[in-house]
A and B are shown apart, each in its own frame.
Chain A
Amino acid sequence: MTQPVMTSTAESLPLPGGLQGIVADWSSDQRAFKNVPWGKAMMWIFLLSDTFIFSCFLISYMTVRISTTVPWPNPSEVFGLTLFGKEIPLLLIAIMTFVLISSSGTMAMAVKFGYEKNKKMTFILLLITAALGATFVGMQAFEWTKLIVHEGVRPWGNPMGAAQFGSSFFMITGFHGTHVSIGVIFLLIMAAKVWRGDLDHERPGFLTGRKGNYEIIETMGLYWHFVDLVWVFIFAFFYLW
C-alpha cells in the first residue's frame, strides 16, 4: 500500500506503506514524520504528554473512589437540574457535551475551508468555534457556582458523601476548563490572523516570527479536538460512572 505524497516537503518518490513504511520512516536518517508539517507533529507530541496528565488525574480519581469507605455522591442527582418543576438528571452536562461536540464539528470544517484558502468561511467557523467554547466555559462556571454556593461542595468535603468527590471534581474539570479557556483565546488570535490575511500573505507571526500558512489552523484544530476528546472521557468516568 502506497500513499500519495500530500505536501511538497516530502520526496517525489512514492513512500512505502504499512510496517515497511514505519521502518523506512524511522531509519531514513532524516525526518521521521513525513507528509506532516513539523508544527503538527510537535502538537501531536504535546497532546500525547497531555494525555498522560489527564490520565493521571482520572486514574487518581479512580483510586480514591475505590478506596473510600464513605458512599460516593450520586453524580446523576448532584448534577441534575430542576426544569419546569421536574428533576432531569445530568441535563446541564448533556448540553455541555453537545456544545463541545458541535464546536469540534465547526473546527473540523474551519480546517477544511482553511486549506481551500476560503478566508471568509474559515474566519466565521473559527469564531463560531470560539463562541461555543466560551459558552461551554460559561456553563461550567454556572455549574461550579451551583455546586459551591448552593450544594456546599468543597475540595475537602461535601454534605452528600465522600470528601474525595470535591477534590477530584474541581481538579479534573478545573484543568479541563483551563484547557478550553486557553483554546478559546488561541482561536480568537487565529481568527484575527485569518481575517487580516496573515496566512494568505505569509506574514511572520508576532511570537515565533515564522511565516503564516493555513497549516497552523489544522494544528490549532488538533488542540481543540483534544479538548473535546478529554471531555468524552470525563463525561464517561466522572459524570456517568
Chain B
Amino acid sequence: MAHAQGQQHPIGIYLKIWGLLFILSTASYLVDYFHFQGYLRWFLIVLFMLLKAGLIVSFFMHMIWERLALMYAILVPPLLLVVLLGIGVLEGNYTFFTRGAFFGPGPTVPAEHR
C-alpha cells in the first residue's frame, strides 16, 4: 500500500465542485438567454469562464495539492500567450483598418467629381 498512494481526497469535494461548475455554467448560459450586451456581457462571460477553469484545474486536476515546482512549471508558461493575444489584437485592428480604407465604400467624394 506504500506504493500508489497518490492524490486521495474525500468524494464530497468532487461533488461540491461538480455542483459549482453546474451553477457557473447555468449562469453563463443565462448571460446569453437574457441578452446582456456590451461590457457587462463580456465581463460576466470571462468571469464565469475563469472561475470554471480555475475550479477544474485546482480540484479535478488536483493542482492545488501539487508542489509549487510543478504548479509554476505548468501555469506560468501560458502567460506568454498574453503577448500573442496583444499581437493578434494589433494585427486584427490594422487589417480591419486597411480593409476599410482599400475595399470599403471609399472616400465621400461625390461621383461627378471623381
A binds B: yes
Query: Interface residues, chain A, CB within 8 Å of chain B?
Result: 3, 6-8, 15, 17-19, 21-22, 25-26, 32-37, 41, 44-45, 47-48, 51-52, 55-56, 59-60, 62-69, 76, 89-90, 94, 97-98, 101-102, 104-105, 107-109, 111-112, 115-116, 213-215, 218, 221-222, 225-226, 228-229, 232-233, 235-237, 239-241
Given contacts A21-B69, A94-B29, A222-B61, contact A109 B84 (CB under 8 A): no
User: Which chain B residue shows the least CB distance to A23?
Assistant: B69
CA gap between A8 and B9 in the complex, in Å: 18
In the complex, the answer to whether A8 meets B60 with C-beta atoms within 8 Å is no
B residues 42-58 near A (Cβ < 8 Å) are: 42, 45-46, 48-49, 52-53, 56-57
Told that A7-B6, A104-B56, A218-B62 touch, could you supply 6 new A-B pairs with CB distance under 8 A?
A67-B93, A69-B104, A101-B18, A111-B7, A116-B8, A236-B46
**Best-surrounded residue of B14, B60, B66, B89 (most CB of chain A within 10 A):** B60
Residue of A nearest to B18 (CB): A105
Q: B57-98 CB contact bits vs A (8 Å, 1 = yes)?
A: 101111000111110111001100100110011011101100
Q: 19 A-B pairs, CB-CB below 8 angstroms?
A: A8-B3, A8-B5, A25-B69, A35-B67, A36-B70, A44-B73, A62-B85, A62-B92, A63-B95, A69-B96, A89-B33, A90-B32, A90-B33, A94-B29, A98-B22, A112-B8, A229-B56, A236-B45, A240-B32
Closest 3 CB pairs of A and B: A66-B92, A67-B95, A105-B18
User: How many B residues are at the interface, by size bracket?
Assistant: 35 or more
Q: In the complex, what residue of chain A is closest to B44 when comparing beta carbons?
A: A240
Q: Contact: A64 with B92, CB < 8 Å?
A: yes
Complex contact B8–A115 (CB within 8 A): yes
Q: Which of A107, A213, A236, A237 has the most CB of B within 10 A?
A: A236
Specify which of A7, A90, A108, A226 is in contact with B5 (CB 8 Å cutoff): A7
- Which chain A positions have C-beta within 8 A of B14? 105, 108-109, 112
CB neighbours (8 Å) of A59 from chain B are: 81, 84-85, 88
Tell me, rounded to whole Å, the shortest Cβ–Cβ distance linking A216 to chain B: 10
Residue B4, interface by CB 8 Å: yes
> What's the Cα separation between A232 and B96 when bound, in Å?
28
Cross-chain contact A48 with B29 (CB below 8 angstroms): no
Please tell me if the beta carbons of A94 and B25 are within 8 angstroms of each other in the complex: yes
Asked if B28 and A240 sit within 8 Å, CB to CB, the answer is yes
